[in-house]
Amino acid sequence: MTTKARIALIKGDGIGIDVAAAAMQVAMVACEHAGAPALDFDEIRAGAGYFAETGQDIEPGGEQRAGEADAIFLGAIGLPAIRHEDGTEISPHLRLRDRYGLYAGIRPVRAYPNAPQRLADPRAAGLDLIILRESTEGLFYSAAAHKRAEVIGDSEVRETLRITRPTTEKLHRFAFRLAEKRRARGKRARLTCVDKANVFTSMAFFRKIFDEIARDHPDTEIGYNYVDAQALDLVRRPWEFDILVMENMFGDILSDLAGGLVGGMGMAACAEIGDSTGLFQPAHGSAPDIMGQDKANPLAAILSAGLMLDYLAEKTGVAAYGRAAELVDRAVDVGFARNRLRPMEFGGDMGTIAVTAEILSQIATATETQAAG
């Protein structure tokens, strides 16, 4: 592949605009230093601000163009003051998940030196786990494409939790492949199924399919945890877990909890992978109160860009995208280790521009060192 990879870029709302611009700048520079084909951006307007202007949550043809790109990058969507009549926020990204079957939501949780660590136990400094969240079904099934909630006057609302065999099989297969890749990189790779199988038939079904897929992967160590116990364990002993696979709503909650253990949502990267495309975004909100003030921490978006580059390497077969992803990851690693990354989110003195500049500097330095060596 010598042509540019096409990225559907949805900056969205609030600080999404700031951090998406920072992340794409880093991705472009990493590609240049790694010798990877350049990225070509197709910017698509979407979000609450666009809805306020036009009455639509995404520009005409935007959904289709997003799916035609090699990958989708999203800054952040939503503004608290702009909502649908039923009180829910503007969320076209949920529809993109549904339309393109982005079933595998990857949320890395990693501790960095000199970044805040909320747990006193010294083992917390080595946290390196992944929450794998199914992203199209579960309780979010009611919220995605067709507003499937059943509203009974002003006295009751019923929403459907949906678990299907085809999607759950794909999720669990993805989970076992992820464990194998992690193990190949020399990391521990125990896979834990997180559910509420002792109470809900849907969750027992989720676990049953996990067990069926596990029989095809005898070399992968597996475990089980009920979601309430898992919430406790993420505070009590998170260093004992490697990959946690779970239903959509459980993953939405536990990934934020886990993000808090390693500094906050400004470090919460996210990839949502389907059979034909992937969407990448920081997991934080739009924080409109600090939009445009050079205060946002862009690292979650930058790390998400790294996940996107890694995905492009696998999707296109161009190994240089993988090298670009490694440059991004290493820049964050080294930047924290040398105390060169001090985001305002953590009480530091560096805003969006300064943090981005430091990442770019670390990428350039790593490339120069490699060339000299």
DSSP 280-345: E--SS---GGGTTTT----HHHHHHHHHHHHHHHHHH--HHHHHHHHHHHHHHHHHHHTT---BGG
Instruction: Identify the segments of the chain with pLDDT beneath 70.
Output: 1-2, 144-147, 371-373
Structure tokens at 30: 């990493």
Q: Helix (H, G, I), strand (E, B), or coil: what is residue 263?
A: coil
Amino acid at 214: A
Q: Is the dihedral of CA 200, 202, 204, 207 positive or negative?
A: negative
pLDDT at 1 (0 to 100): 45
pLDDT at 70 (0 to 100): 97
Say if residues 4 and 38 touch (Cβ distance below 8 Å): yes
**Rounded to whole angstroms, how far apart are CA atoms 95 and 41?**
21
Q: In order of start, what are the domains of the chain with their CATH numbers?
A: 1-103+268-373 (3.40.718.10), 117-261 (3.40.718.10)
H-state helical runs in 69-114: 92-99
Amino acid at 337: A
Nearest one of 218, 199, 215, 196 to 207, comparing CA atoms? 196
Nearest one of 249, 91, 255, 163 to 241, comparing CA atoms? 255
